[in-house]
Amino acid sequence: MPLILASTSRYRRELLERLRLPFEAVAPQVDETPRTGETPADLARRLALAKAGEVARRYPAAVVIGSDQVAELDGRPIGKPGTHERAVEQLRSMRGRAVIFHTAVAVLRPSTGFEQLLLAPVTVHFRDLSDADIECYLRTEQPYDCAGSAKCETLGIALLNAIHSDDPTALVGLPLIRTCAMLRAAGLDPLQR
């Protein structure tokens, strides 16, 4: 059966490639605007399910994976900065603080009615970064397409004191332990080809 990743994220594609299952990446057509009063965790869950659902409607014979990540500081969502200036602001606000990254993943198999949605929260403790640390990191990595302006899989690890998670790839954008469990439940086991 075909496997589709409902995402344009290169990070999610690279993570899913680790499972060595053939898949296609398809861009979901979903409005990602947060709703009034929506918590960051609820936003991540809603968007993961909406992305998977929108693509599943176009590919009803496939197993579809949707995922989304929303960072949270003081109950507010922290999105992708997009610019250097916004990334500086984000990292300054997070220095010396704990930030929760809510990574949600949904797996749908329309042909059987299978639908599952799980959340993989990750608590990230940032060092008390100097402005020089922030500037060096941003000029080197340019992580303007990453929630919270940091990539732990590269130099961003130097910004941190600790990462707490039970699914180590969740912070990168796709919790593979949860994804594998849901794929097995949907009838697609990465270890049985």
Catalytic position from the list 68, 128, 131, 145: 68
Report the alpha-carbon distance of residue 184 to residue 34 in Å, rounded.
31
Residue 5 CB-density burial (10 A; 0-12 exposed, 13-18 middle, 19+ buried): buried
Q: Whose CA is closest to 96, among 160, 3, 141, 192?
A: 160
Query: Is the Cβ–Cβ distance between 111 and 60 less than 8 Å?
Result: yes
Report the alpha-carbon distance of residue 8 to residue 170 in Å, rounded.
17
Report the alpha-carbon distance of residue 13 to residue 183 in Å, rounded.
16
Report the alpha-carbon distance of residue 153 to residue 124 in Å, rounded.
13
Active site residue 68: yes
Q: What is the CA radius of gyration of the chain?
A: 17
Q: Which residues are catalytic?
A: 68
